[in-house]
């Protein structure tokens, strides 16, 4: 792969098997849902995202 101009990069990501990590994600999502502009942001996402790309 290096010969093709690529390099190895290691990324650390949250371990979704850890109940503490899941609890924190749920806590943060609940806080974001309470944001005063949440509905406006969701409406904007609906307009700009290409949902057909998931098909």
Distance CA(15)–CA(24), nearest Å, equals 12
Q: How confident is the prediction for the chain on average, in pLDDT?
A: 93
The first and second tokens of residue 27, run together, are 């806590």
Question: Worst-scoring range by mean pLDDT, 2-6, 26-30, 45-49, 50-54?
Answer: 50-54
- Mean pLDDT over residues 43-54, rounded? 89
pLDDT of residue 18: 98
Maximum average pLDDT range among 21-25, 31-35, 37-41: 21-25
Please tell me the predicted confidence (pLDDT) of residue 4.
95
Residue 20 host element (H or E): helix 19-33
What's the pTM value of the predicted model, to 2 decimals?
0.59
Contact 14, 21 (CB under 8 A): yes
């Amino acid at each position: 792969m290096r010969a093709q101009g690529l390099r190895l990069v290691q990324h650390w990501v949250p371990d979704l098997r850890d109940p503490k990590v899941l609890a924190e994600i749920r806590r943060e999502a609940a806080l974001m849902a309470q944001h005063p502009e949440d509905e406006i942001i969701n409406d904007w996402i609906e307009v700009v995202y290409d949902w057909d790309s998931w098909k």
